[in-house]
Amino acid sequence: MNLFRNNRNYTNHSVFFWIRFRCHCTSMALTGSLLAIAFLFSFSGLLRFGISYDRPPPRNTLSVPLSDDLDESSPQQVHISLVGKDKMRISWITEDETPATVDYGVTKGAYNFSASGSVSSYNYLMYTSGKIYDVVIGPLEPNTLYFYRCGSNSQREFSFRTPPVRLPIEFAVVGDLGQTEWTKSTLEHIAGSTFDVMLLPGDLSYADLDQPLWDSFGRLVEPLASQRPWMVTQGNHEIEKIPVIHSQSFTSYNARWHMPFEESGSDSNLYYSFEVAGVHVIMLGSYTDFEIDSAQYKWLQADLAKVDRNRTPWIVVLIHAPWYNSNTAHQGEYESDGMKKSMEGLLYGAHVDVVFAGHVHAYERFSRVYSDKADSCGPVHITIGDGGNREGLASKYIDPKPEISLFREASFGHGRFKVVNTSHALWEWHRNDDVQSIVADTVWLRSHVSDPACKV
């Protein structure tokens, strides 16, 4: 059975948090029960911390169906991502297989260039995905508008603008996005900005085993994700591992969101780095091994050693589980505390400027910090896990507020990180207040390379 074409709605089940799976016929009832039990065991660690949340009523999940004017060969869920200094990966899905080609050019309706790639699919229990396409195009000119079509389908034309090759550059930053009315509001606010690249520190679709929600999420974000590169890392909601029944983690995430890990010397799609304009961005995996003898640790050590601060004066790191957090939610988790213990020294020694995290469904900005103390040569830690997920907000904070926590608020929103030059960047957090996007927190940041005290 190809469930990619099945868009029926199913019941949500809640056991401290939302559990979603599909039971497609009466004979599947036992399997459904086993899935629920396996899911609970798989995420038993999360249950301990979910009760810390004091959330408002959750927002309903949006279901974004396939448009009636599209057929089985029409490209959908189109999104793009950076590959190297002058290439772009175009990813999309169709129901029926079509040529894995992208035609593109700088004039609307005229395509002077073409590139070919690969097509794949995956199975997850009773679900079979659509055809997933992966095509890398380029070389491309910087700061240039390109028009493209996928699979030689003339019905749909898309466009994107390449980022600049030199500063300034602007990033939109949003975590724990999901697909609710709040998500829709967040995406609309981001669409009103002039950002060049989207950074997302994990928890994308909140499919949580319900694979068609990955398709719905892809359709929801397509208007933005097809126009600007989305660079993402994984969160706990991407794991989707079920003991015995489905033993492989990150099946859908890896199949659908191929990031440029190969180009950065990584052996895993769960951690990688890339450079754009004057910024070196590192995406780390909070839910894969990070101890000092791990492949990820060794890769990070080598990657930081290769950074040329003359070429990329700024270093930005994204993780999912925050290393610094004064919210009562997600305290004491190994993915936060253990990873911090293993890797914080590497980031401090490399003079990383900013660390963005998600996971906690609220906003918080810390001072420059290292080893739990204010340190002018440490990175600024910012939690931005407030994109619009269905679970709601984490509104309870530790009292009194730690001195290193400079601003915290449980509201949905997104951030904008504008790297102006080699020495200064402007950070803004935009709160979602109904239909208005309110700038609630703003601060100018100075790079470590411009601070003689840090001796970069």
Reading the block at residue 253, the tokens are: 């995430």
Give whole-number Cα distances, 30 to 12, 14, 25, in Å: 17, 19, 10
Reading the block at residue 314, the tokens are: 């700024």
Q: Distance from CA of residue 314 to its chain's centroid?
A: 20
Task: Residue 147: name the closest of 112, 118, 193, 196 by CA.
Answer: 112
Task: Say whether 414 is catalytic.
Answer: no
Cis peptide, bond prior to residue 75, ω within 30 of zero? no
| Cβ atoms < 10 Å from Cβ of 119 | 16
Q: Distance from CA of residue 55 to its chain's centroid?
A: 23
Question: Is the CB of residue 284 less than 8 Å from the CB of residue 250?
Answer: no
Question: Is the CB of residue 441 less than 8 Å from the CB of residue 428?
Answer: yes
| Cβ atoms < 10 Å from Cβ of 66 | 19
Strand order across the 436-446 sheet: 230-233, 197-201, 169-173, 413-419, 424-433, 436-446
Strand order across the 101-105 sheet: 113-116, 101-105, 145-150, 158-161
Give the 3-state secondary structure of residue 373: strand
Give whole-number Cα distances, 107 to 79, 110, 164, in Å: 20, 5, 19
Residues with Cβ < 8 Å from 276, sequence gap 6 or more?
A: 82, 163, 169, 196, 197
DSSP 104-129: EESBTTB--EEEE-EEE--EETTEE-
State phi, psi for 56 to the nearest 5 degrees. -70, 170
Reading the block at residue 290, the tokens are: 């990070």
**Active-site residue among 189, 237, 258, 330?**
330
Residues 32-57 as b/e (b if ≥16 CB within 10 A, e otherwise) read eeebbebbeebbeebeebbeebeeee
Check the CA dihedral 230-234-238-241 and report its sign.
positive
What does R_g of the chain's alpha carbons equal in angstroms? 21
Catalytic residues: 330
